[in-house]
Structure 1
Amino acid sequence: MKHFMPEVSVIIPAYNSSRYIAEALDSVFEQTFKDFEVIVVDDGSTDDTRRIIENYPHQIKYFYQENGGPAKARNLGIRKSEGKYIAFLDADDLWLASKLEKQVAEFEKNPELGMVITENCLFDDAGVYRDVVGKSNYLMHGDLVTNIFLKSGVVTPTVMVRRDVFGEIGLFEETLRIGEDDNMWIRIAFHYPVGFVDEPLAKIRDHQMRTMRVNQNYAVYTRASVEMLLNKYDRRLGDKIRKLVPRKFYQGNFGIGYRHFEQEEYAEARKAFREALKYDRWHLKAYAYILMTMVPKRIIRFLRTAKRKLLPGVGGPKWTR
């Protein structure tokens, strides 16, 4: 019997994802493009993730591994996949129905592309709170490698990669539990042209566990990824980003401080803003926020409310992953 290879392999790492994974899978099987396989890699879940997948009404390739992090899970999925293109989805996020169709069309139009990304929206339990994040301006305008390194913002569920790219540049770095995705996108963007579909075809869920994971472990894994980018891969890539490293650490720590500030965790915010100033002590914005954390909460709330009414859409760092 002839074996038919799927055009696209959809890879979904899952760790204790029972609350959201059925909704994520529904968004895959509602795609207008139908020539795909779905691979779920259970990264050592202890909840009902496996039961939900086994009872799901569509065919899924399920693999279990001891908890090793998202990079290891995605790598296992890549190794088990058969598609010409690899699309990534996280178990708590969603796709719009035309996502795969439009990304495959972009690859067919430009076969030299290494990856294609899309715009995305942001949502939480109350619904969509940002329709677009503005990638055409902050990410795709200018040098893409520099922009990913400094601003992150590709967002893994928006990505589709040509399969043979991984054979050329390698798989995800499994020792990285945070930033393993940006590490990969930087390497791809350095070696290949990148396509962009300027439509919000992925919905990225904002919830507390995601924010906590980033805040608690940012420094360790960011330093490890930067060290790899400087010294492990193509020397020209290391030379390109070396001068950007202080700015990277300033922006990362400022972003953590801003998220703490938004959650009224002012002691943690001050700590992060002070850490940011180690990398750029002349940046007045961090000083301003440190002073703000010492103001009574009721005054801060009033000022934030007034700012949002007077300057809608203007604020701190974009929430991205």
Structure 2
Amino acid sequence: MTAAGGLVSVIIPTYNRSRLCRQAAESVLSQTYPKVEILIVDDGSQDDTRDVVSMLDDRVHYIRQDNAGVSAARNRGLLAAKGEYIAFLDSDDLWLPWKLEAQVSLLKRCPNAGMVWTDMVAVDESGTPLFEAYLRRMYEAYRSFTPEKHFSRSWDIGDVWQDCPARWRKRKCYQGDIFSWMFMGNLVHTSTVLLRRERLEKVGFFDVTLLRSGEDYDFHARTCRVGDVAFMDFPTIHYRIGAADQLTQSEHMVWIARNNLTTVLKMLDSTHGEIALPRRLFRARMASAYAWVGISEFSENRAAARRHLWKSLAWFPFQPRTAAYLFLAIMPLPFTAALISLKRNLVDALIA
């Protein structure tokens, strides 16, 4: 399909969030950059999503599919997208009015950058701001990644985006090849992304086998592997946190840990030596990926926990916490239960 010049195709997957989905779509329709189409992909909702979105602008297109997960929904939207640029917006998030204008300006300035992402404001369910810059707080990979150090080029945002508000003009934007650092963990939040169609055609679709979580990390890592990407160090979205239906809730942690390990192993298998990191950092990353799964599985599947904890220590032996979990996973269950109970009693006694 020939892309429509300058058009941004915005893909919003949704499931039983009609009110929030409408708000998300309205935040796109309110952009200062007007050339947009919105593809709302309803992943089998049982609420009134169809009726709610049908009352919006004629730039909004409703697509329904049987429930198949967020990756399949995004892929369905990608197949229908007509734009020169592609953006993703989760149905419980909101864009600030200048998001697309700023990002299109940067991609025009940086023709080799295939994707740009930004920081975000975290808000509660009522929309009250909680954290003005949440990206580094949410994504642990920023502990080892510094934009100033690891990107190859930088500019003031005001030099790239002519109509930038005064408060952001001196904030930085960056461009470079950061694929190796994506191996350390995801750096990109999907609702902040703007992607060139040419880059998308090289990257392909979201991996539908990564259920419940991890599909974004895999997709963005593959995007970064193809070539340069860009980052604008200021917030362009409101990211809602604390909702009961979010995948960041604690009951989903084992899936997040497993899919993180799957993505790491997939990257390792497919890149053939392209990952250029200090040896100690590389081994620590492998160890942490296995340890996260082992600790997450500890309560439900001790045999699987033991396997992953052993592999973690093989990659990086000095991990007292991981070693302690492995010791408990090896011991008979009554012994482990007694130790855990003793620890809780000691903590309660200290608090009292």
Which range, TM-score by smaller chain?
A: 0.7 to 0.9
Structure 2 residue 226 is matched with structure 1 residue 188:
no
Counterpart of 2:10? 10
Percent identity (aligned): 31
State yes or no: 1:226 paired with 2:226. no
Match of 2:184 among 126, 130, 150: 150
1:124-135 mapped onto 2 (5 Å cutoff): 124-125=124-125, 127-133=128-134, 135=136
Deviation, 1:13, is 0.8
Aligned to 1:208: 244
In structure 1, how many angstroms separate the alpha carbons of the residues matched to 2:48 and 2:203? 35
CA distance in 1, matches of 2:90, 2:119: 16
Match of 2:91? 91
Amino acid corresponding to residue 318 of structure 2 in structure 1: W
Q: Partner amino acid for 1:225? A: T
Q: Relative to structure 1, is the Cα distance of residues 125 and 148 closer, same or farther in structure 2, using a 3 angstrom cutoff?
A: same
- Partner residue in 2 for 1:235: 272
2:283 is aligned with 1:283: no
Deviation at 1:53, TM superposition (A): 1.4
Aligned-partner Cα distance in 2 for 1:298–1:53: 55
Report the structure number with the largest CA radius of gyration: 2
The residue aligned with 1:313 is: none
Task: Give the TM-score, by structure 2 length.
Answer: 0.69
- Residue correspondence of structure 1 range 285-304 to structure 2 within 5 A: 294=344, 296=347
Question: Deviation per CA, 1:268-292, whole angstroms, max 9, x where unpaired?
Answer: 9xxxx99986525633567899999
Give matches, 1:4-153, under 5 Å: 7-125=7-125, 127-133=128-134, 135=136, 138=143, 139=145, 140=147, 141-142=149-150, 144-153=178-187
- Counterpart CA distance in 1 for 2:52 and 2:108 is 35
Deviation at 1:12, TM superposition (A): 0.7
Secondary structure in structure 2 of the residue aligned to 1:84: strand
Aligned length: 290
Structure 2 partner of 1:311: none
Deviates more, 1:114-123 or 1:131-140: 131-140
Gaps of 5+ in 2: 151-176, 329-339
The CA distance in 1 between the partners of 2:216 and 2:319, in whole Å, is: 28
Distance of aligned partners of 1:57 and 1:223 in 2 relative to their CA distance in 1, 3 Å threshold: same
Q: Which amino acid aligns with 2:235?
A: P
Shift of 1:47: 2.0
The CA deviation at 1:106 is 0.5
Q: How far off is 1:160 after superposition? A: 0.8
Q: Is the 8 A contact 2:186 2:221 kept in 1?
A: no
Unaligned runs of 5+ in 1: 261-266, 303-321
